[in-house]
Structure 1
Amino acid sequence: MRIMRLGGLFLAASLASAAAQAQGRPDMGKLMATGGVSQLEGAGGGGLAPWALITGYGSRDSWGANAHYTGVRTQDYTLDTAGVAVGLADRIEVSLAQQHFKGSLAPLNQLSIKQDILGVKLRLAGDAVYGQDVLMPQIAVGAMYKRNKGVGGLGALGVNNVTQLGARDDSGTDVYVAATKLLLQQSLLLNGTVRATRANQMGLLGFGGDKGDSYKAMLEVSAAYLVDRQLVAGVEYRRKPHNLGVDNEKAYYDVFVAWFPSKHVSVTAAYAVLGEITVFNPTRQRGAYLSVQAGF
């Protein structure tokens, strides 16, 4: 508890310091694409994994913000995410997102689950852009508080909460450390994130379960090639825990292309593989991912 209190005080002090630095109008001072895109849970990064980069184009003396919508369509499910995020002084990021997961194939064709996510990220060390002459990457720590808003469409089965599917809780917090290295001469971006989590399918099926309820460290990696100033292509992989007997949860991975026509808009398209979602529909889910972000 003492560590949590000290961590909260440090974060509050950092937020106050960043807010004091980030005064006036946004300066759009960062390089194109260096805020990343909006990740599925609302953080700045790739599509699947948060990166150590801070969202928006505000420099150390400014701030930036964006709004995004992401849609994922597989054979039997859809996932829609919408949210907003703010970056302060290229040091602090705060994000808010809502996910809406729906089924389209019986017996889960009426399934509807929503989840709210509040995220915060703090850059601790390094600089992905200006640290080209050192090996040290940009490093950030972050947390995502998630609250599941219940299960719809399964009333006939007497199910209206994820705990009735075997989850231990309907809310939880993920904590992660991300390291991002941008190699401008090689046109490469490399990211590694280690996330401590109890979440089932990002929290859409709750937290913990009959197969496990402890925090587990899961690796998430991204590699991207900067084709030119406006186009980025890459791959991502994200491990996830297997806590529920009704969900044979597997890793996520994707292949993506992100287009940045200007600093105000980005469009990301991907082919994503999400594994099996539940034993009621044991099919490997794969399909299209499309995300649009607008901001400054």
Structure 2
Amino acid sequence: MSETVEENLARDAEAAELLVGAVDLHCHSGPAAMPRILDHHEALLDCAAAKFRALLYKDHFYLGTAHAILLEKLFPELGVQLFSGIALNNASGGINPHAVDHAAKLGAKIVWMPTLSAANHIEQVHGQGKTFPKTSKKMLDPLPLRATDANGELLDDTKRVLDVIAEADIILAGGHLDAAEMIKVFEEAKRRGVNRLLVNHPTYMIGCTDDDIRELVSIGAHIEHSICMWVEGKSKKFTPEELLHLIEVAGVDRTILSSDLGLVGSPRPVEGFRQVVRLLLDQQVPKADIRKLVSSNAARLLGLDAAA
């Protein structure tokens, strides 16, 4: 039975209320080598209009922390905290302790293990006969990166990166490493004192099974699902039922929903949040759980004051 106009408006109002204080840990705004539908400033304005608490920009090729610092300084009246970090792809020198040390000293909040340059990513894309990413201008072909050597042991540079992350007490994200490699990295990270662990889109590119997700949670990781894969647009891949299942596998307290939006052919990040909150409401997910999924879990991982 279809909803009335009044019911739709009421549900939209519920969604808007639940997004007050939201945190997006995975916004793909520009400028970027890949085509984007909005820039960092526009993403900030959208978040401010929806009363988000914080926004974290991600670019696969550069450290975005300086942009975040300047934009927050230029527009303090908007009340949105801005963050970024570094992805350890070829453009950053790969798994490069010096790049991570600089990022941490500048104020980066997150370090992503290789994404587009990860050997797993390259193998999967080539196996599917696809080209991803599609940059605005042709770039050099990526050189495959692994966190481990030919014997499956962690590289010395990987260990040095983990030590820098532990000392700075910032987030280590798994990037596009495959599940087995990520588990190995996260286990060592935990031993070395890394307290903030994040798994990006475990069911896309990473190849996590339910048991892999449970193991990663047992290590101490939060599981991040990309909203873009559940809302209307070219990146949609999964059903509402699959999202509910994945939330159940990791647990509400260990699950984070981030947009992974800014891509051509998909909604803007804040609109993606609106759509996924509507989806969760339609699936009868309790409002307290939705707040954890879109707000408090990510705020806690960032180290933001819970009372703010």
TM-score (normalised: structure 1): 0.30
Structure (1/2) with the larger helix percentage = 2
Greater relative contact order, per chain length (Cα 8 Å cut-off, separation 6+): 2
Per residue, is there more strand in 1 or in 2?
A: 1
